[in-house]
Amino acid sequence: MELWLKEGQIEDAVMTYKIKETLVRRMTPYQDLAIVDTYAFGRMLVLDGIVQTTIKDEYVYHEMITHIPLFTHPNPKKVLVVGGGDGGAIREILKHPSVEKAVLCEIDGCVIEECKKHLPEISYALDNPRCEVFVGDGIKYVHEHKNEFDVIIVDSTDPFGAAEGLFGGSFYKEIFDCLTEDGIFVAQTETPFYLPDVVKKVYKDAKAVFPITKLFMAAIPTYPSGYWSFTIGSKKYDPESVKVDLPEDMKLKYYTAKLHNACFTLPKFIEDIIR
């Protein structure tokens, strides 16, 4: 008998993956959590039936959501990740020697627990002494910490259910206040092919708060359409004006110094969406 995971996040399209083994399946206080081993993408974290990350392609997402803001800021010392309980963003953040402290604020402690067991390649940096793990509401955490972080990364699930409040609106104003005077924030902001209205709204909301707001793209095979957007908001530094000096010993698989600037060059249809 063959087992297949069918992801139906997009109403009129599905993605399917052939499963070798289900490693864990449990209902947490917040969501249906599963980690499965697939033939095409290896072990995969699935929340409420939606693929979050996989062993095979996770590096694309985690490198782009972290290194774009961290190489844009000249001296990032304190970084906050909202969501991201798999630990991949923390792993990449701690490759930057200037970072003295990285805080992970994840609402669902079960995600952290299971990823440590089944996705150690992604989650191992959560045990690093420079990492502080806080299990709780990211919106509340941001509200209670003013002028504290150089970089804030919103590594959230999709804009449905528990994560809906992390997309745009008043939350970006709270992030602005949580950042230091030259702080930078970045968020994953969905696919322009299937969810152009989400991309447009988030960009508009961020632009209303941050003096410098840009959209950049990355190719992530297991996310719907395979073409994903990120929105960056900066108080002072323009990410397109940065000349990146990439250390030779920083082990990366997707992000490069040239790509840092190139990823902000958008196809016309995406320019039209956010115009």
What SS3 string covers 86-144?
CCHHHHHHCCCCCCCEEEEEECCHHHHHHHHHHCHHHHHHHHCCCEEEEECCHHHHHHH
Write the DSSP string, 225-238: TSEEEEEEEESS--
Ligand-binding site membership of 48 (annotated): no
Q: CA–CA separation, 26 vs 267, rounded Å?
A: 41
| Neighbour-count burial for 223-243, b at 16+ CB within 10 Å, e otherwise | bbbebbbbbbbbbebebbebe
User: For residue 64, what is the enclosing H or E element?
Assistant: helix 58-72
Residue 264: name the closest of 203, 173, 196 by CA.
203
In the annotation, is 155 catalytic?
yes
| Neighbour-count burial for 131-163, b at 16+ CB within 10 Å, e otherwise | bebeeebbbebbeebeebbbbbbbbbbbbeebb
Ligand-binding site membership of 181 (annotated): no
Catalytic residue among 57, 108, 150, 155: 155
Ligand-binding site membership of 188 (annotated): no
Ligand-binding site membership of 100 (annotated): no
Ligand-binding site membership of 86 (annotated): yes
- Return the number of other C-beta atoms located less than 10 Å from residue 251's C-beta: 8
Ligand-binding site membership of 158 (annotated): yes
Q: Which residues are catalytic?
A: 155
Annotated binding site for S-methyl-5'-thioadenosine: 31, 106, 137-138
